Structure 1
Amino acid sequence: QAIELGDHVQLERAAHSLKGSLSHFYAKSAYNVIIKLEGLGRDKSDMSTAQKLFLDLQREMVRLSEKLIVINKQ
């Protein structure tokens, strides 16, 4: 929602919060994307870049979810 609204402050806050949650998992790719999103919010960078990174983050979160499902079944 922050990306759609062009709200850099909210983007930084949301990314920072998610970064804390992701730090509990070994999800390096997702973590790296969220760091970039947090930086875009802080630096008030172009939101079109944030939109692309958000799509990358969604893919990484699907991968993490799939890995967690496999681990849970073991």
Structure 2
Amino acid sequence: METPPCRADVNAAIADVLFVDPNELTSSTDLADLGLESIRLHSLIEHFRSAGADVTFAELAEDLHLAHWYRVLTDESS
């Protein structure tokens, strides 16, 4: 089993897909405000799965705030 991603890994993947600076992403960031839609969400899920995360579309789509994503994807608390 691979190591879960850290916040920096999550931020880097999101920044790559949404064309934003990863340093501007915080726990309170709402990814919908940055233009995240279902196609990009699927792309991110595939990225996280290929990195070893066991995550579903529903788990991430239920709350598009990064604090929620950090809880789902990492071993770190929000």
Instruction: Report the TM-score, using the length of structure 2 for normalisation.
Output: 0.38
Q: Rg: which structure is higher?
A: 1
Higher helix fraction (1 or 2): 1
Instruction: Report the TM-score, using the length of structure 1 for normalisation.
Output: 0.39
Of structures 1 and 2, the one with the larger relative CO (CA 8 A, separation 6+) is 2
